[in-house]
Amino acid sequence: MIKSRNRRHKIAAAPAAVRLQTPAHVRWSAFAILLVAALILSWGMYDAGRKAGIPDRIEPPREEKTEAPEMERLSQLNARLQHENDELRIKMAGLDQQLQMDQAARQDIASQVKTLQGENTRLKEELGFFQNLGSAPGKTGQRVSIGGLKLEKGKLPGEYRYSLLLVQSGVRGKDFHGNLEFAVNFQQNGEKMVQPLTSSETSDDPSKKFDVSFRFYRRVENTFWLAPEAIVDSLQVKVFEKGETQARLMQTVNLSL
């Protein structure tokens, strides 16, 4: 009996757990409040990020969209200008070549005209020489005459050229056989010098005489060289008849300026 009382007492003294039942509409209201709070918080974070410069979505910049047609237009314009420049270069090259050809042709014509003028002058001088020779009384023992003796500078430094005309006058029953000797008078390093001209430019022929043989007339032309710093004064020519040691004729001409 005592155990039974004690058991009852223990049962009566044990704490009782009380669970309150929350109504459904309260729970849904709390969930809605939390959801609204979460949405408000998310929108605030999105708005803050947008204001900070973060784009909503990745899109190509408007400048790139507008620059694409402009770049294509400039590329086409550049290609067209390059093509036109190439055509102009070809035309300019053709014109420059034509101009060079024209200049070369003019120079050639001018050189030919100068040569013809010199030839014409020489022919006039020779004609006058022949006329004077035919009208002048002949001299006994002088059968050969010199006409048109000239000494001129060449085109290159140290180059000189001379020319003359030999004419046999009087009774011309046979050919004239003889030789010529030339000597140039010049100054070099302040000294006056005389140099005989050889009949050949090679050292194998040391002869200083130019053999001539003709009946009516003979034209003689030749070129010689001196040091570029030499100053030529005159040229002397002597005419010898074959077998004679004394000159039959001698003449001197100054350098033509």
Look at residue 160 and tell me whether its pLDDT is greater than 70. yes
Q: How confident is the model at residue 180 (pLDDT cuts 50, 70, 90)?
A: very high
Average pLDDT over residues 56-78: 71
- Token pair, residue 3, equals 């155990």
Query: Global pTM?
Result: 0.50
Rounded to an integer, the average pLDDT of 141-170 is 86
CB 238 within 8 Å of CB 247 = yes
Mean residue pLDDT across the chain: 78
At 53 the pLDDT is 56
Tell me the pLDDT tens digit for each residue of 194-214: 999 976 543 445 456 789 998
pLDDT of residue 231 exceeding 90: yes
Residue 81, pLDDT > 70, answer yes
Instruction: Give Cα separations from 197 to 102, 140, 142, 237 (angstroms).
Output: 41, 30, 25, 10
Q: Which backbone phi and psi does 2 adopt, to 5 degrees?
A: -60, -45
Task: Let me know: does 223 contact 200? Beta carbons within 8 Å.
Answer: no
Measure the CA dihedral 191/192/198/200, to 10°.
50
Q: In sequence order, which residues have a C-beta less than 8 Å from that of residue 223 and are 6 or more positions away?
A: 154, 159, 160, 161
**What share of the chain has pLDDT > 70, as a percent?**
70
Residue 125's SS3 state is helix
Q: By mean pLDDT, which of 163-172, 173-182, 239-248 is the weakest?
A: 163-172
Q: What percent of the chain has pLDDT over 90?
A: 28
Question: What pLDDT band is residue 147 in, cutting at 50, 70 and 90?
Answer: confident
Higher confidence at residue 130 or residue 43?
A: 43
DSSP secondary structure code for residue 157 in this structure = T
How far apart CA 92 and CA 170 sit, in angstroms, is: 67
Specify the DSSP element, H or E, that contains 218: strand 217-225
Model confidence band, residue 158 (pLDDT cutoffs 50, 70, 90): very high
In sequence order, what E strands does 10-158 have?
A: 144-153
Mean per-residue pLDDT for 169-180?
A: 80
